[in-house]
Structure 1
């Protein structure tokens, strides 16, 4: 049975005297609207995105941040707001936030994939290993990537397949991954191969794989940049900015909002989060490796990974829960380590799953060389390992907190 919202409620907030009414919601929305307008003014003063100014990028991030918080608050506390106004502005703010986020997402994805390629192909120096004792075999080095502690030693996967002389059909990530991963490492660990031939085969295609990813993701980033510029100059955006400007001075609350307590609505957001977490396969995430995920990862189906969607939904609900707590605290809430660690793990999960999808998409490019497909397959498998590592880290922090609460309850 899922743990209810009283397990997530901040004890300090629970002891606050008196209810938190709609006036607190109105003050929070006015503050976020003011931040939105301040970021918009900074964006215009720096000349917009076209000149590539750092201040303009900061302004875009501030626009996204305030737009997300307004949207999340309108969603959680919608019974206290004018329904027509809320349903009109909420999707527009979500559109703006999503549009502005795409360029940064493609840039971060490319950097993540190129860094992983360099590491996997041996371009990134590997820390020196301790000298083994006489007659002993040196184990493969294991590095934690999520902060979750694991036990045991993981050896590097052995490459058992060789690429054909000439490609006869578009190569998918499924075939490349199947050829490279025969003994996957547990999530949260990354085995560094010690045999030169293993990396030698990968290095052949890593450069071309990196060039292919750079072409595809740079093109996608350029298009996202153009889309964002068009959006910021469109009548649709100006209409959104006008609505936010009105919000900064007047919040359309319902008649009874001034005396309605916000806590039940915030508690409902917490409960949705805990129910969604309870539906996750946390038992599977707590194992060293998810074999079912490997089967899905080897599938040639270009559809999104079937196991990722529930985790993305939990990430969204966790964000809504955080914004609801900010309203109750009348601003930035006290840092709760558990929520911070859970959010970071889910962010890594999202980034790794999208990076794996990008590697899979690149591997489906027609007429690429077998060595390129091989490198992309190894990269795809590496990112899916990162997905499992993030799930393990989330499970570890979440279940640990539940046990601690049960022990002190």
Structure 2
């Protein structure tokens, strides 16, 4: 009797093939990154290669976590945190670039000032895109994109607020770039690359009989448990003033509110990658894709709000600048609530549509 897909010997073969594909992509991206030139085109190629390398590292790490009963435990337990370190290190430069672009675009929208140029890396889309798929757009912010004119204080402070954010986030991006370059030259990175190179030719399986479907179902159960802990009833109100007030209450309140949503984002990513393996790279269901997009926007908006709040704490800034940064912080927390609403609509859409 032959094994069905996802069970027995077939499970080990499918897992090995997936990990070897990702390891090969990792090594290919690393080669492209090393071969990229120092001119403008080379810089773009280097960024694209780093993105692909980070993407492969995330998938390898997630697969080692979800399907760990099938893999050598000591080997996978030692490699997973190293892949997480690498992925996180390489993500920072892109994160600061997209965060700055998001904040400058929001200042333009709120104040009616001149539009800002895009960053070198592709900016993330806003929560409106995900929410719009469910027939809803982000509630308007007074003085912003609702059609009215911006308050004079906001118009006056927006330019200086933009300059301050650009200085702070460009400096952070430059430091992140330097950190990534140092990481590429470190013995720690070379050890990771060596392990991935071995993985490209041989996957250390244990021979355990757990099947892929069972382990994928376990990842889905963990996700559903985390989603059940979210305040989805509250998130289902598009004009969620109560939650927004809590998000603006203090420095620590947003972090406490955001943590469960960030946990769901991580678990949803694990679930997506497990399905990618199980279904042989089939595209995710619209519900999963929309929910993932909403949680990505949630994280970006929350980080942007924190950056605006941090800039507002800069000593001796003008009152008009502080005011503009305060409005910007509130706007991004509004985007956080919009993303939660979009996630709620995406996650529950399938259940509602089948009634």
Q: TM-score, normalised by structure 1?
A: 0.77
The Cα of 1:193 is off from its aligned counterpart by: 4.9
Rounded to whole Å, the distance in 2 between the matches of 1:17 and 1:247 is 22
- Structure 1: which 4+ aligned runs deviate by more than 4 Å? 47-52, 153-156
Aligned residue for 1:360? 309
1:392 corresponds to 2:341: yes
Rounded to whole Å, the distance in 2 between the matches of 1:341 and 1:156 is 24
1:94 corresponds to 2:80: no
**2:237 maps to which of 278, 287, 290:** 287
1:105 corresponds to 2:95: yes
Alignment of 1:242-281 (within 5 A): 242-256=194-208, 259-281=209-231
Do the aligned partners of 1:296 and 1:305 also contact (CA within 8 Å) in 2?
Answer: no
Per the alignment, do residues 66 and 17 of structure 1 end up closer, same or farther by CA in structure 2, a change over 3 Å counting? closer
Alignment of 1:63-74 (within 5 A): 63-74=53-64
Rounded to whole Å, the distance in 2 between the matches of 1:64 and 1:18 is 27
Larger Rg: 1
The Cα of 1:274 is off from its aligned counterpart by: 1.1
The Cα of 1:45 is off from its aligned counterpart by: 1.1
Aligned residue for 1:379? 328
The Cα of 1:156 is off from its aligned counterpart by: 5.9
The Cα of 1:398 is off from its aligned counterpart by: 1.4
Rounded to whole Å, the distance in 2 between the matches of 1:88 and 1:395 is 36
Per the alignment, do residues 231 and 395 of structure 1 end up closer, same or farther by CA in structure 2, a change over 3 Å counting? same
Rounded to whole Å, the distance in 2 between the matches of 1:63 and 1:110 is 23
Per the alignment, do residues 156 and 32 of structure 1 end up closer, same or farther by CA in structure 2, a change over 3 Å counting? closer
**1:35 maps to which of 15, 21, 25:** 25
Aligned residue for 1:172? none
Aligned residue for 1:22? 12
**2:248 maps to which of 298, 301, 312:** 298
Aligned residue for 2:318? 369
Q: TM-score, normalised by structure 2?
A: 0.88
1:192 corresponds to 2:146: yes
Rounded to whole Å, the distance in 1 between the matches of 2:300 and 2:101 is 11
Per the alignment, do residues 156 and 21 of structure 1 end up closer, same or farther by CA in structure 2, a change over 3 Å counting? closer
Per the alignment, do residues 118 and 268 of structure 1 end up closer, same or farther by CA in structure 2, a change over 3 Å counting? same
Rounded to whole Å, the distance in 1 between the matches of 2:179 and 2:145 is 40
| RMSD (Å) for aligned C-alpha atoms | 2.4
Aligned residue for 1:327? 277
**1:229 maps to which of 158, 162, 181:** 181
Do the aligned partners of 1:212 and 1:362 also contact (CA within 8 Å) in 2?
Answer: yes
The Cα of 1:244 is off from its aligned counterpart by: 0.4
Alignment length (residue pairs):
337
**By percentage of residues, which structure has more helix?**
2
Aligned residue for 2:124? none
Q: The residue matched to 1:116 in structure 2 has which SS?
A: helix
The Cα of 1:351 is off from its aligned counterpart by: 0.7
Aligned residue for 2:285? 336
Rounded to whole Å, the distance in 2 between the matches of 1:221 and 1:144 is 26
The Cα of 1:80 is off from its aligned counterpart by: 0.8
**2:75 maps to which of 72, 78, 85:** 85
Q: The residue matched to 1:216 in structure 2 has which SS?
A: helix
Instruction: Return the structure number with greater relative CO, CA threshold 8 A, min gap 6.
Output: 1
Do the aligned partners of 1:157 and 1:193 also contact (CA within 8 Å) in 2?
Answer: no
Aligned residue for 2:121? none
Q: The residue matched to 2:256 in structure 1 has which SS?
A: coil
1:202 corresponds to 2:202: no
Structure 2: unaligned runs, 5 residues or longer: 116-126
Do the aligned partners of 1:110 and 1:213 also contact (CA within 8 Å) in 2?
Answer: yes
Do the aligned partners of 1:156 and 1:193 also contact (CA within 8 Å) in 2?
Answer: no
